A and B are shown apart, each in its own frame.
Chain A
Amino acid sequence: MTGKVFGQPIPRLEDQFLLTGTAKFIDDIEIPGMVHAAFLRSDYAHARIKKIDYSAALKRPGVIAVYTAEDFGDYWRPGPLQVPPPTAIKGSQFNARPLVPIAKDKVRFSGEPLAVVIAESRYIAEDAFDDIIVDLEPLPAVVDLEEAWENKPALVHDDLGTNMAALVKQERGNYEEARAKADVVISRKILVNRNAAAAMENRGFVVNWDEREQEMTVWATTQAPIPLRNTIAARLGLFENQVRVITPFIGGGFGPKIMTSQADDVLLPWIAMKLKRPIKWIEDRRENFLATTSERDQVHYAEIALTKDGVILGVKDVFYHNTGAYDPYGMTVPLNTQTHTISNYRVPSFYTEIRMVFTNQMVVTPVRGAGRPEGVFVMERLMDAAARELNMDPAEIRLKNLLEPNELPLRTGIIGQDFVEGVLDSGNYKANLQKLMEMVEYEKFRKEIQPALRAQGKHVGMGIVCFTEGTAVGPYEGARVTIGGNGKVSVATGISTQGQGHFTVFAQIVAEQLGVKAEDVNVVTGDTAHFHWGAGTFASRGAAVAGTAIYNAAVKVREKIFATASKWLEVPPEQIELGDGKVWVKGKPEQFITLGDLAFRANPTRGVIEPGVEPGLEATGYYGPPYGATGAGAVAMIVEIDPETMELKIKRFVIVHDCGTVINPLLLEGQVEGGVSMGIGNAFYEKMVYDENGQLLTASFMDYLMPQATDMPPKIEIGHLTTTSPLNPLGIKGVGEAGAIPTPSAFVQAVEDALFEYQLEIPESNLSPSKIFEYVQKASKKG
């Protein structure tokens, strides 16, 4: 029986392959005659390339070819920019320096490719690195953001004459006027530290050029299969339909796998055509740390102006954003920071300025959160400082300033990563915080539990913060829904999947419309031979944007089912019922046609199709939102710290979350828990550290600590509210990044509260036991 499946917590349809080791990942692809690529990478962050001599490598048995930038001739060229800057922001400046596929003349970050070796095995390819003589002339490395802005100690791009990558000023209201009227103005310098995406599977790329078919097949761990195919085809002068990009199962994405125009996807297709051999490249963990992309390195000078009652009058934030050596992803990350700094609060006047700088570090592009955690961290730190200054409770000052539902939709006046003015579509921000306070027993904790624990000498503190998550941005996605002769439904969409559960939630959307079982819906994502229009998986948009396109296609197929069945059953469509994989005449279940049979009749081999009727039980749907849907929530966490060792335990973690209509509660909780886990990692374990020479000191899991099972709280308690989005027919918003966004903000507040007697004010987003110890030492000396 096909009961209601939409909204139900059904376990995933894709699991059995992943659980039994039968799912195909990129490194599982083997093609006869396949050779292996390895990239020799720069040990210096900033250097002039004087000479690369690989003649000895060519003599090594098993080495097939070696290439440096010069060997690619005119094919070597930067870019293109994957995301251009928005043109709508008046007066904004952007200096485009897209990625170069392999370093030419100059190295700009440690880990940048210098040469690519093709060999019979990866072992031999890496052996050949020892045969290559590289002569580099080191240059001073640009590492510090504020020094970089002053063009010190060097220029990353000599021809540009500046290290400025972008300067963007946006304002709503008039901050200076607001400041003049304020009773209290609080200024802070706030740092947000750098984190890796660290998907468990590294990147990979396999390419096979079929000379006789004149077709190229690419397997890639990409979040953006269609843009990837389009750039490969354009670069090689092929038609799009000569290049097929397939994404196998992908072991996590979290942002960096959206990137195209990197060394692998630019160079390896060209080499595959030259050598007429299939090529495989699998990134190793060190390469992933050094030379893919990462995020969150900002320095903020922020200010909040309030009345003495704690009402916000204005916020100002001037911040430096590290884009790394190039800026291929435009201004996506810092624009997200701008839109998320004030989003859930009533801030009449807001001035925000991005100072984006080039440095000799790996390139910065979105990682789960993508600029949002930075904005939320800055605002929540300002709220905490204001609460302290005004002697207010941290929850009280937030409740006082959160927007009311009747103030939405609200135009924010700030243009975001999707190139349009941000609009808060719907939400009930106060209700989120109130529900959170109930769940965590806020009053009881403050008045009874915490005082009692403190009386016992325990250092237990709570952090409580609010956040929004801009999701489901354009431009669009599409999908095709087809009923097959087997009576089952196939769905193809252009986005790709990295573990989100698309095969299940999309099946739930379609099953509901077409009266079939979810397990009879086969979903294909990320194969350009199946569907070849779309932008990709980013910004928590899969379910809301691709899901809505799928819904739109399914509704059209449903209409076709009724129209076709009406003809064959010879009754009007209103008298037809659909379910259990068939249609029948209402009240006469014996007069039925199965969907498989109907699909054949909709695609006749003889006879006549009426004008205006398209054959088959098939339809294509698209969806492009005018602006993104905004999810929201609130987080409380309770920590206990041992003041001797600074060992920290998370006693409770509570999150209330609103992402509109829920397609599958089981998968939703998985998304939230995973985001929280990354947020905890970002706040207390994970930190990418560059030294003054631009060397990454944390390029392994021994140095870059990931949260493990014993680091996590006993349970992540999740509360749900549902405020549907008016932007799409299902009322869906995205959720993928929700948990990662507020967690560092809650974490530092909880630490400060636990160690209350030191009156700490922690200005950065990443802590560790030793760092807490340092703050306590400093505070003790002051006292």
Chain B
Amino acid sequence: MSKLHHVTVTVNGKQYERDVEARMLLSDFLRHELGLMGTHVGCEHGICGACTVIFDGEPVRSCLMFAVQANGHDIRTVESLGTPEKMHPLQEAFHEKHALQCGFCTPGFLMTLVSFLEKHPNPTEEEIREAIDGNICRCTGYESIIEAAKLASERMSAREN
């Protein structure tokens, strides 16, 4: 066992402290140290986007970062959105538009889109397509995901106005 490093990180508004090896991936840290299993690991080389989390407001691949790099930073995962009983508007739109099938890539899409919609509250379909281009879905063909994002953006904008 190599040397352990003390990490303090805020995840979904809650502060966690752990001692971890320098090589522990942030994705493994979230999943197996903090028990936040909603973040999924699809490729471990930064292509598929399933492990996307929001890191200081920006979507990042948690499989391409080490847990120690998150020391002192703020992270949001899919668990920060809604619950099965009360879902986030984006989650509701995914449900209505059948924007998920196996659901494994879904948390990554949700976090990419939550971050995107915060910055672009009224996106066009083309802009949404570009925004999710770094996330791979093998089941849906993306069309329903784009429709869901559009629907959610409309509802979320309407609520704020």
Which residues on B are within 8 Å of A, measured CB to CB?
A: 1, 21, 23-24, 31-32, 36-45, 47-48, 50, 77-79, 81-85, 87, 91, 94-96, 98, 100-107, 110, 125, 129-130, 132-146
A19 touches B95 (CB 8 A): yes
**A15-B95, A27-B31, A201-B102 known; A709 vs B44 contact (CB < 8 Å):** no
Measured CA separation A248–B139 after assembly (Å): 18
A716 and B81 within 8 A (CB): no
Given pairs A123-B24, A200-B139, A714-B125, 12 additional interface contacts (CB within 8 A) = A11-B95, A16-B91, A19-B100, A22-B83, A28-B37, A200-B50, A200-B104, A200-B136, A249-B103, A285-B43, A499-B100, A702-B45
* A–B pairs, 23, beta carbons within 8 Å: A12-B98, A16-B87, A16-B95, A19-B87, A19-B110, A20-B81, A20-B83, A21-B36, A21-B39, A22-B38, A22-B83, A22-B84, A200-B42, A285-B45, A500-B101, A501-B101, A666-B98, A673-B144, A677-B141, A678-B138, A701-B136, A712-B143, A715-B143
Whether B44 and A200, one on each chain, are in contact in the complex, defined by CB atoms closer than 8 angstroms, is no
Separation of A319 and B77 alpha carbons in the complex (Å)? 50
Cα A601 to Cα B2 with chains together (Å): 64
A674 to B95 CA separation, bound complex (whole angstroms): 17
* Chain A contacts for B94, CB-based, 8 A: 15, 19
Q: Does A348 contact B (CB under 8 A)?
A: no
Report chain B residues within 8 Å CB of A635: none
Q: Which residues of B have CB within 8 Å of A715?
A: 143
- Whether A700 sits at the interface, judged by CB under 8 Å, is yes
Known: A15-B95, A666-B98, A712-B143. A198 touches B138 (CB 8 A): yes
- Contact: A251 with B103, CB < 8 Å? yes
Task: Report the separation of the CA atoms of residues A20 and B104 in the bound assembly, to the nearest whole angstrom.
Answer: 11
Nearest-CB distance from A59 to chain B (Å)?
A: 14
A674's nearest neighbour on chain B, judged by CB, is B139
Q: What are the 6 A-B residue pairs with the smallest beta carbon separation, nearest first?
A: A21-B38, A251-B104, A499-B102, A18-B103, A677-B141, A701-B47
Q: Closest approach, in angstroms, between the C-beta of A638 and any C-beta of chain B?
A: 17
Q: How far is the CA of A677 from the CA of B135 in the complex (A)?
A: 14
Q: In the complex, what's the smallest C-beta–C-beta distance from A688 to chain B, in angstroms?
A: 16
Beta-carbon contacts under 8 Å, A233-251 to B? 249-251
Question: Across the interface, do A701 and B139 meet the contact criterion of CB distance under 8 Å?
Answer: no
Q: Which residues of chain B have C-beta atoms less than 8 A from A726's C-beta?
A: none
The answer to whether residues A251 and B40 also contact, given A16-B95, A702-B47, A709-B146 and a CB cut-off of 8 A, is yes
Question: Which of the listed residues A254, A284, A701 has the most CB atoms from chain B within 10 Å of its own CB?
Answer: A701
- From A22, A498, A667, A708, B136 is in contact (CB under 8 Å) with A708
A741 at the interface (CB under 8 A from B): no
Give Cα distance in the complex from A499 to B45, angstroms.
24
Whole-angstrom distance from the CB of B155 to the nearest CB of chain A? Answer: 16
Residue of B nearest to A123 (CB): B23
| A25 near B140: Cβ-Cβ < 8 Å | no
Q: How many A-B residue pairs have CB under 8 A?
A: 174
Q: A198 contacts which chain B residues (CB < 8 A)?
A: 138
Question: Would you give the shortest CB distance from A401 to chain B, in whole angstroms?
Answer: 30
Are A199's CB and B138's CB within 8 A?
A: yes
Min C-beta distance of A286 to chain B, whole Å: 9
Q: What residue in chain A is nearest B144 (Cβ atoms)? A: A670
Report whether B79 and A21 are in contact in the complex, using a CB–CB cutoff of 8 Å: yes
| Docked complex Cα distance between A249 and B136 (Å) | 19
What is the minimal beta-carbon distance from B17 to any residue of chain A, in angstroms?
20
Q: Which residues of A contact B23 (CB under 8 A)?
A: 123
> A700 to B37, Cβ gap below 8 A?
no
**Chain A 178-201 near chain B by CB (<8 Å), digits 1 or 0:** 000000000000000000001111
Check if B143 sits within 8 Å of A27, measured CB to CB.
no
Contacts of A667 in B (CB 8 A): 98
- In the complex, residue of chain B having the shortest beta-carbon distance to the beta carbon of A17: B84
Contact B133 A710 (CB under 8 A): yes
B91 CB contact (under 8 Å) in A20, A28, A678 = A20
- The reply to whether A20 and B84 form a contact with Cβ atoms under 8 Å apart is yes
Q: Are B136 and A16 in contact (CB under 8 A)?
A: no
Contacts of A225 in B (CB 8 A): none
Contact with B along A667-702 (1 / 0, CB 8 A): 101100110111000000000000000000000111
> Which bucket holds chain A's interface residue count?
35 or more
Give residues 15-40 of A contacting B (CB, 8 Å): 15-25, 27-28, 30
User: Please, which residues of chain A bring their CB within 8 A of the CB of B50?
Assistant: 200
A7 → chain B closest CB, angstroms: 16
Collect the chain B residues with CB atoms within 8 Å of residue A28's CB: 31, 37
Task: State in angstroms the CA–CA spacing of A666 and B144 once bound together.
Answer: 10
Q: Does the CB pair B91–A19 fall under 8 Å? A: yes
Least distance between B132 CB and chain A CB atoms (Å): 5
Q: Is the CB of A200 within 8 A of B141?
A: no
Q: 1/0 per position for A242-275, CB-CB distance to B under 8 A?
A: 0000000111111000000000000000000000
- Alpha-carbon gap, A254 to B102, bound state (A): 11
The residues of A that contact B78 with a CB separation of less than 8 Å are 20-21
Inter-chain contact A201/B104, CB cutoff 8 Å = yes
A30 to B32, CA, bound (A): 9
Q: Check B141 against A676 for contact (C-beta < 8 Å).
A: yes
The answer, yes or no, to whether A61 is at the interface (CB within 8 Å) is yes
Q: How far is the CA of A706 from the CA of B141 in the complex (A)?
A: 11
Asked whether any CB of chain B lies closer than 8 Å to the CB of A62, the reply is yes
Least Cβ distance of B98 to chain A in Å?
5
B37 touches A21 (CB 8 A): yes
B79 to chain A, nearest CB (A): 5
The reply to whether B141 and A716 contact each other, CB–CB distance below 8 Å, is yes
**Do residues A200 and B142 form an inter-chain contact, with CB atoms below 8 A?**
no
Across the interface, A11 reaches (CB within 8 A) one of B98, B101, B102, namely B98
- CB of A712 within 8 A of CB of B38, answer no
Q: How far is the CA of A712 from the CA of B136 in the complex (A)?
A: 12
CA distance A680 to B64 in the complex (A): 29
Are A20's CB and B45's CB within 8 A?
no
Interface centre among A16, A20, A715 (most CB of B within 10 A): A20
Q: Write the nearest CB–CB distance from A662 to chain B, whole angstroms.
A: 14
Within 8 A of B (CB), among A297-349: none
Tell me which residues across on chain B come within 8 A of A498, comparing CB atoms.
102
- A500 vs B1: C-alpha distance in the bound complex, in angstroms? 43
B24, B44, B82: the one contacting A285 at CB < 8 Å is B44
For A282, the closest partner residue in chain B by CB is: B41
Cα-based distance from A674 to B77 in the complex (angstroms): 26
Q: Complex formed: what's the CA distance from A62 to B42 in Å? A: 26
Identify which of B42, B81, B102, B135 contacts A250 (C-beta below 8 A). B102
Contact check: which of A21, A24, A27 meets B107 at CB < 8 Å? A21
Say whether B40 contacts A201, CB under 8 Å: yes
Contacting pair A254 B138 (CB below 8 A): yes
Q: Which of A250, A252, A678, A701 contacts B43 (CB 8 A)?
A: A701
Among A16, A24, A199, A501, the residue within 8 A (CB) of B84 is A16
Do A709 and B142 touch (CB < 8 A)? yes
Measured CB to CB, the nearest residue on chain B to A9 is B98
Tell me, in angstroms, the Cα distance from A706 to B41 when the chains sit together.
Answer: 17
In Å, the complex CA distance between A61 and B1 comes to 8
Distance between Cα atoms of A498 and B44 in the complex (Å): 21
Closest chain A residue to B41, Cβ basis? A27
Q: How far is the CB of B156 from chain A (nearest CB, A)?
A: 16
Determine whether the beta carbon of B91 is less than 8 Å from that of A670.
no
Are A200 and B48 in contact, with the CB atoms below 8 A? yes
Name which residue of chain B comes closest to A197, CB basis: B138
**Other-chain residue from B102, B110, B125, B133 in contact with A252 (beta carbon distance below 8 A):** B102
Q: Which residues of A contact B129 (CB under 8 A)?
A: 709-710
Inter-chain CA distance A310–B7, complex, in Å, is 74
Query: Who on chain B is nearest to A22 by CB?
Result: B84
Q: Give the residue name and chain of the B residue nearest to A675 (CB).
A: B141
What is the bound-complex CA distance between A632 and B138, given in angstroms? 23
Q: Is the CB of B95 within 8 A of A200?
A: no
Given contacts A16-B87, A701-B48, A706-B138, contact A199 B102 (CB under 8 A): yes
Are the CB atoms of B139 and A706 closer together than 8 Å?
A: no
Q: From the candidates B79, B103, B136, name the one contacting A706 in the complex (CB within 8 A).
A: B136
A469 to chain B, nearest CB (A): 17
Q: Which of A14, A15, A25, A710 contacts B104 (CB 8 A)?
A: A25
Question: Among the listed A22, A200, A202, A250, which residue makes an inter-chain contact with B137, where contact means beta carbons less than 8 Å apart?
Answer: A200
Partner of B139, one of A23, A25, A670: A670
